[in-house]
Amino acid sequence: MATTSTTTTIITTPERLEYPIGVPYKFSPEGVVQRYPGNTTLCHVPPNSPVLPGLWALHDALKSHSTLSQKIHLLPPATWHMTVFDGIREQECEPGMWPADKLKQPLDQCTKELSKSLRQFGLRLTDEGLAPPYHMRLRGFDYAATVGIGLILEGASPEEERRIRRLRDRLADTMGFRAPNHETYEWHMSPTAATARLVDEFANAQDGTNQEQELGFFAALRLYQNGVFWSFVMSTAIIMEGYDTKLIGTLFAQPAFQKAYGEHVKGDTYQITAAWQAGLSNSSAIGQLLGLLMSGHLVERFGFRKTMITGLTTIIALIFMQFFAPSLAVLEVAQILFGIPLGLFLTTPVIYALEVSPLCLRDYLINYVNSCWAFGQITATGVLRGVLSMNNHWAYRIPFAIQWFWPLILIPLLCFAPESPWWLVRKGRLEEAKAVVKRLTSPTNVNFDIDKNIAMMVVTTEHERLIDASTSYRACFEGPNLRRTLIVIGIYCVQTFNGNPIRGYSTYFFEQAGLPTTQAFNMSIVGFALAIVGGFGSWALIPLCGRRTAYLGGLIILFIIMILVGALGVPQAQSPTPAYAWGIGSLLVISSFVYYGSVGPLTNTLCAEIPSALLRSKSVVLARWAYVVTTIIAGVLTPYMLNPTAWNWSAKTGFFWAGGCLLCIIFAWMYVPETADRTTAEIDLLFEKRVPERHFGRTKVDFVEVVNVAVDVEKSV
C-alpha cells in the first residue's frame, strides 16, 4: 500500500455530543467527518493504489451486513487515511500534553507558529529521506467496539517501518511534543465510524464483574488452575532477590569471607568494616533503583514476559562477576549491576499475579510472592550454614554459584508463559486478550463467560482513560492518582520502618547479641522457616480478618516485640548471659513469623490493588523506588548500630525500630484502605469520590456508577 502525505493544522472545540467516543471528536452521529480538534498529520490512499479494490470489497461487505450496517457509517474513500502523528488537542492543553514553550500562548498564535514549523519541516522531507509515498501492509483487523472497525497496518519492510517511525520522531521534535503513546503507536486505517455501540459493553462488563465477585475459592481454583501455575512461575524469580538480599548480610558473619575480605581485629578474628558493610549492603539496592525505573517503561511497552526473560538472561552473566570478585571493590560493582535486573523482578511478578487471577485468588497468589522472598532468604542462610565448616574461597563462592540455578530453570518456562490479559486490553489487542484468558482458564463445570470477563477489563480501562488518558509517571501525581500513589509509597516504606533491616541482618545480629556463630546461623534458619509458615498462614488469616485489620494488628504486635528486644538488650549489654541472648533471638524469630503472616504479604496485595489499572506498573515502581531509598538509608545505619567497632547498640537497636513501628501504626490507621473483594473499577470510584480510606470497607459501590461517571466525563469534554 502506498500513501501520500498531507498535513492539516486545526485547533477547535468539539461539539458535546453523545457516545460513542469517536462521535464528538471525529464524526457526527450520522457519520459525517468533523473538523478534528487538534493537530494531526495524515497519509491518504492515492487514487491509483492497487489496494483500492480490496478496500472497496471490505466497504461493500460491511455495507451489506445485516447488523453492522445499522451501527456503523461507511466513510467515503476520500477520507480513508493513516495517521502518522497524532498531535496536540485544545482540551489537553496542560504540561506533558502540549509543547512546553507554548503552554501560555494564545490559541491563534500557537496555531500560527505550529503551521509555520510544519511547513518548514515539509520542505526538508526529501533531503532527510522521509518524503512520501510510504509503503504499508495489512497486519490485522481491529474490532473497536466504541470507535468503529479498522485495519491494523505496519511498514511493508523493516526498513520502511523504521523510516516512518523516524518521521514521527522528527514531527515530534518539530512540534516540541511527544505523546505518552509515541513509541507504541500502531498504524491503522478506519474505513468506518461507529454511530452506535457495536456491543453492549457495559451490560457485559456488569455481568463480568458479578461473575468474578460470585466466584468461590474452589471454583476459582478449578477455573484458573493454569493462571495459578503461571503466576507461581513468574513469582519464583523473587526467590533470587530474597537470596541476594540475605546472602551479602549473612556473609558478614562467615569466617572464611571475613578472613578473605575483612580486616584483622585480634587473634584469628577478622571483621568487614562498618563502612564496607554499609556499601555492600546498599550496592544491590542502588542498582535496583535504576532497574525499577526501567521496569515501568519496559513492562508497559514490551509486556511482562519479555521483561522478565530479559532480566533473567542478564543475571546469568552478572553472577560471574560476583563469583570471581578478587576484592570488595569488584564485588561492590558486581552487586550494583546485579541489582538492575533484580529491580525488574521487584514489581513485575506482583502485578502479573493480580492481572491473571480473579478476586478470590489474589490474596493467595500475591502473598505467595512474599513467601518466595522468605524462601530465598532461608535458602541463602541454609547454603551458608552448609559451607560454614569450609575455610577456603569455596565457602563463599558456592553460595554465589547457586544463583545460576534459577534463571536456567525459569527462562525456558517463561518462554511459554501467557501475557497479562489486562496489558493486552490496554494495548487494544482484544482478540489476543481473549485467547490468553482461554489459556489461563479451564471453564469446566464453572459458570464463566470469557467475553464478559474481557468486557469488564475494557470498560475499566476505558473509564480510567476518560478520567486521565496519560500513563506517564507524572500522571501518578495528578488528581485522584496522587492520593493513591502516596498511599502505595507509604505502605512500601512501612516494610523498612517496622524493623525489617535487623531481620535482614539476623545472623550477624544474633552473633553480636551473644550467640555462637553456628547457633546464630541455626536461629536464622529457624526464623525464616517460621517466616514461610507465617506466609502460608496468612492465606487463612487475611481472608478471615480483612486486609486492613490484619495489617494494623501485625504492626501493633511488631511494635511490642521491638520494645521487648530493646529492653532485653539493656541488661545484655551490661552483663551478657546466654539467657538474654536466646531471649533476644527468640523474639526476633517470632517477629519474622508475625511480619510474614501479616504486613509482608499485605504490602504486595495492597500496593497491587490500590493504583489504577493504567498506572499500576508505574505506581508500584515509584513506591518500590521509595522503599529502596529507605532501605539504603537503613542499610547505612544498621551496620553502625550493630557493629562492635562502630556504635555497638546490639539488641538496643530494638528501641529505634519500635519508634518506626509506632509511626507505621499511625499511618496505617489513617490511610490504609480495605480493598478486599473490590474490583479495580470499584476502587477507582471510591478514590474518585474521595471516600476516606478508613471507610472503604463499609462503603457500597454499584458498578452502574462507574458507567455513569464514564458517560458524564465524555459529555463534559
Query: What pLDDT score does 642 carry?
Result: 72
Class of domain 41-194: alpha beta
Q: Name the DSSP letter for residue 144.
A: E
Contact in structure between 145 and 202 (CB atoms under 8 Å): no
Which tens digits make up the pLDDT trace of 297-311?
888 888 999 999 999
Mean pLDDT along residues 669-680? 86
Query: What pLDDT score does 5 carry?
Result: 39
Q: Name the DSSP letter for residue 18.
A: P
DSSP result, 62-127: HHT-TTGGGTEEEPPGGG-EEEEEE---GGG-STTSS-GGGTTS-HHHHHHHHHHHHHHHHTTTTT
The residue among 595, 577, 597 whose CA lies nearest residue 664 is 595
Taking the C-alpha atoms of 406, 412, 415 and 417 in order, what is their torsion angle to the nearest 10 degrees?
Answer: -70
Region of 192 please: left (phi>0), alpha (psi -120 to 50) or beta.
beta
Which tens digits make up the pLDDT trace of 530-542?
888 888 888 888 8
How would residue 313 be classed by pLDDT, with cut points 50, 70 and 90? very high
* Joined grid coordinates for residue 248: 551479602
CB neighbours of 253 closer than 8 A, spacing ≥ 6?
A: 507, 508, 511, 517, 520, 521
Question: Is 223-418's fold the same as 472-677's?
Answer: yes
What's the mean pLDDT when you consider all of the chain? Answer: 79
**CA-based angle 371:372:374, to the nearest 5?**
65
Query: What pLDDT score does 201 carry?
Result: 62
Query: What pLDDT score does 147 carry?
Result: 57
Mean pLDDT along residues 512-527? 75
Query: What pLDDT score does 148 carry?
Result: 64
Query: What pLDDT score does 3 carry?
Result: 43
Residue 330: CB atoms within 10 A of its CB come to 13
Query: Given CA atoms 516, 519, 524, 527 in this order, what sign does their dihedral have?
Result: negative
Contact in structure between 187 and 154 (CB atoms under 8 Å): yes
Which tens digits make up the pLDDT trace of 405-429?
989 999 999 999 999 998 998 888 8
Query: What pLDDT score does 687 carry?
Result: 86
Query: What pLDDT score does 418 carry?
Result: 94
Asked if residue 92 has pLDDT above 70, the reply is no
Query: What pLDDT score does 563 carry?
Result: 92
DSSP bridge partners of 140: 152
> Tell me: domain 223-418, CATH 1.20.1250.20, correct?
yes
Which tens digits make up the pLDDT trace of 369-402?
878 887 888 888 788 888 877 888 888 889 889 9
* Joined grid coordinates for residue 615: 498506572
Find which of 180-184, 227-231, 542-546, 689-693 is predicted with most confidence, using mean pLDDT: 227-231
Query: What pLDDT score does 24 carry?
Result: 52
419-433, 462-476, 506-520, 598-612: least confidently modelled range: 462-476
Q: What percentage of the chain carries pLDDT values higher than 70?
A: 83
Residue labelled with grid coordinates 493480580: 354
- Main-chain dihedrals φ then ψ at residue 233, nearest 5 degrees: -60, -50
Asked if residue 665 has pLDDT above 90, the reply is yes
Reported pTM: 0.61
Query: What pLDDT score does 710 carry?
Result: 41
Of 147 and 448, the one with more pLDDT: 448
Domain boundaries, the chain: 41-194, 223-418, 472-677
CB neighbours of 351 closer than 8 A, spacing ≥ 6?
A: 299, 304, 420, 608, 616, 617, 620
Which tens digits make up the pLDDT trace of 622-640?
888 888 888 888 877 877 8
Burial of 560 (0-12, 13-18, 19+ CB in 10 A): middle
Mean pLDDT along residues 203-225? 81
Which tens digits make up the pLDDT trace of 95-113?
667 787 887 788 888 888 8
How would residue 715 be classed by pLDDT, with cut points 50, 70 and 90? very low
- CATH for 472-677 is 1.20.1250.20
Asked if residue 265 has pLDDT above 50, the reply is yes
